[in-house]
A and B are shown apart, each in its own frame.
Chain A
């Protein structure tokens, strides 16, 4: 239902912590089931509270962009989703299952490694620093997980990898090592690698921040293409406001560990309600 995603009055609605009225308006426009739910998630680093009792939901198929000043907790959300961090309080649900916890004997306990592994199999992530495996050629970077996690036959995995390399425009480079590619090309391989696992949600963590300016457009074009042509859910942290405006169904403004404002991009970028949002946007736009 790609048409739904372009409707401005869309449903991917996180419950802002302060806003009691912001229950899920769902309603007729909702095209996907609830995929991600943060429930009173708090994350601290030492004395610094990065996320403060955050509630938010993301529905399947939606493209949600997190914006806000650095240190406001955006990347932390992605890292919690990827189980690279554990929350100090609260729970995260993914695809109808607890991500951070598991039920044992009727009680909710912090998730063990096995449980986390099973749930996060449907979550993909692209990192700011690409994090390709430098000891493997491009093709094997992409086939490694499908073969060893999904149990795909090597031929099938390579075919899938070739299709994805075609999608990101790097078919000629499958036999190279990551070190032989430009940053932009490496990031496009990293996108293909994440997609090869057919995740339900793709987490994009400032994927163009480490790139030389002239390489940014190529990567964003690939992502626009993916946003348009697939029904994958995107959760995206970016400083590229034009990109955010293009692909998002919902933009969330973060400040000091809280969502202070959210809504469709037209609303956030043209008529922000919150003073902090206005300040932030005037600084970055």
Chain B
């Protein structure tokens, strides 16, 4: 087995296209996961059973079934019901939805971690409920869970190659396509593996530093 540096050079243009798609899916997927997770977390604190119950069923269902199956379902079954989206859009929604069920738990823990005295002080000042959430509780809850949310972004990065299964040409997809055209396998897959490491490892170091800073 030889490592052909010129093959690496040949792969680079396609690789960078793939990096861009991966980062795009990651960024949009994270946004969905952060936003939807918060919606689930707040819904599960609702006084109304009719709100809590369906959310619990949905999140448990999504969390306990494989992401790959969900992606296939979204991509191949939804069109039967008239919902057709591009592979990338489907992938972003799939990743975001899947991870939102985890971020919901993270938010829940963060909200539970805000001392009861904060709620009492808000009551004593007659702050409206919405204001209590947005100005008092959530800023404190989210601050505590930033590192945990960040860990899920890294997980999501590592799960992003699954989008290749529904035809998204992210990093792995580009590598696969390159190797099937050139019969070079070592170089493109090595580049992709190293790329994941190069993105994920500094990100996890950054998170650890952030965690130390926020812990104070």
Name the distance in Å between B143's Cβ and chain A's nearest Cβ. Answer: 7
Given contacts A127-B117, A129-B117, A148-B131, contact A135 B143 (CB under 8 A): yes
Given contacts A134-B140, A135-B136, contact A120 B117 (CB under 8 A): no
Complex Cα spacing A145 to B125, Å: 6
B123 close to A82 (CB less than 8 A): yes
Q: 0/1 per residue, A181-222, Cβ < 8 Å to B? A: 000000000000110010000000000000000000000000
B124 close to A124 (CB less than 8 A): yes
Name the distance in Å between B53's Cβ and chain A's nearest Cβ. Answer: 22
A144 close to B135 (CB less than 8 A): yes
Name the distance in Å between A129's Cβ and chain B's nearest Cβ. Answer: 5
Whether A83 is near chain B, meaning CB under 8 Å from some CB there, is: yes
B126 close to A121 (CB less than 8 A): yes
Complex Cα spacing A194 to B121, Å: 9
Whether A3 is near chain B, meaning CB under 8 Å from some CB there, is: no
Whether B128 is near chain A, meaning CB under 8 Å from some CB there, is: yes
B104-151, CB < 8 A from A: 115, 117-118, 120-121, 123-129, 131, 135-136, 139-140, 143
User: Which residue of chain B has its CB nearest to the CB of A196?
Assistant: B125
Complex Cα spacing A224 to B137, Å: 33
Chain B neighbourhood of A132, CB < 8 A: 121
Chain B neighbourhood of A194, CB < 8 A: 124-125
Name the distance in Å between B213's Cβ and chain A's nearest Cβ. Answer: 14
Q: 0/1 per residue, A88-115, Cβ < 8 Å to B? A: 0000000000000000000000000100
- The number of residue pairs between A and B whose CB atoms lie closer than 8 Å in the complex comes to 61
B127 close to A131 (CB less than 8 A): no
B126 close to A82 (CB less than 8 A): no
User: Which residue of chain B has its CB nearest to the CB of A127?
Assistant: B117
Chain B neighbourhood of A179, CB < 8 A: 216
A11-44, CB < 8 A from B: none
Complex Cα spacing A124 to B118, Å: 15
User: Which residue of chain A has its CB nearest to the CB of B131?
Assistant: A148
Chain B neighbourhood of A124, CB < 8 A: 124-125
B126 close to A131 (CB less than 8 A): no
Q: 0/1 per residue, B151-175, Cβ < 8 Å to A? A: 0000000000000000000000000
A145 close to B126 (CB less than 8 A): yes
Report which B residues bind A (CB closer than 8 A).
115, 117-118, 120-121, 123-129, 131, 135-136, 139-140, 143, 216
Which 7 interchain pairs have the tightest Cβ spacing? A145-B125, A131-B121, A131-B117, A125-B124, A135-B139, A121-B126, A149-B126
Q: 13 additional contacts, CB 8 Å, given A124-B125, A145-B125, A149-B127?
A: A82-B123, A82-B124, A120-B123, A127-B117, A127-B121, A131-B115, A131-B118, A131-B121, A133-B135, A135-B136, A136-B135, A144-B127, A145-B126
